[in-house]
Amino acid sequence: MNHKDLSSVVTALSQANRVLFITGAGVSEESGIPTYRGIGGIYNQKLKNGMEVEELLSISSFNTNPHLVWKYIYEMENRCRNALPNRGHYIIAKMEEFLPYVLVVTQNVDGLHRKAGSKNLIELHGYIYNLKCTGCGKETEVSDFSHIDIPPYCSECGGIIRPDVVFFGETLPVKKYYRLISEIKDGFDIVFSVGTSSLFSYVSLPVYEIKNRGGLTVEINPSFTSISHIVDIKITMEAGPALSLIWENYRQRFKIK
């Protein structure tokens, strides 16, 4: 990140009333959770049975073969189980303390933003530790999956339980989607797109909308993405180091301990 871009971001933060962070798998990579796309990403890999991840983690696959889908969900949860928030998560949470209004919109289901202390949070794709019965709708939260059967069945009605996450082929939860739309309508002075490929319209369109309304658009991603050509500032770095650099300069400029 060059000095000019760094100075521009810090200045914009100091003047902003409303700040939006849109985060993807890249923000959790430093915590040991692999990114979905990119080098070593699980979306780039075929599973042992030859299926693509998008096919396996679809609602149609869950409906026809919940045992197979749950086996893979269990593997995903095992990667999240001992993961801790990294400096990127903590810095975003810290900004929420010091700036007038910060909203975090994440595609991640690992819960690391909430663990880091982010309060104003929209988990678009859900939270892997929230479970929901497909029969009666009973919901429960668990600390991990180490003591559940695969697949788990509801103690109330015997229905199959699923994690309350968005499978491929499903739409976003209505309440979360409309809250995001409402927040975008209220406007943001600056948006950070952090560690996401921005392939889904609901994470790329807010960047376009904020840019069209005069807000500063910043992308933090070591790779080129679908929005890299339109953002005001492209920071070709991993999430943790980039956010650390921004926060350290902000902290020093405004003498925050």
**Tens-place pLDDT, residues 14-39:** 999 999 999 999 999 999 887 654 33
Domain ranges of the chain: 3-32+85-125+171-253, 42-82+131-165
Annotation: CATH topology of 42-82+131-165: SIR2/SIRT2 'Small Domain' (3.30.1600)
Q: Are both 3-32+85-125+171-253 and 42-82+131-165 of the same fold?
A: no
Active site residue 125: yes
State which fold the 3-32+85-125+171-253 domain adopts: Rossmann fold (3.40.50)
Choose, from 67, 113, 125, 147, the residue flagged as catalytic.
Answer: 125
Strand (E) or helix (H) holding 238: none
Burial of 182: CB neighbours in 10 Å, binned 0-12, 13-18, 19+:
exposed
User: Model confidence over 48-63: pLDDT tens digits?
Assistant: 566 777 888 899 999 9
Closest CA to 163 of 44, 80, 235, 238: 80
* pLDDT level of residue 135 (50, 70, 90 thresholds): very high
Confidence tier at 233 by pLDDT (50, 70, 90): very high
- pTM comes to 0.91
Comparing CA positions, the residue from 138, 110, 103, 142 lying closest to residue 126 is: 110
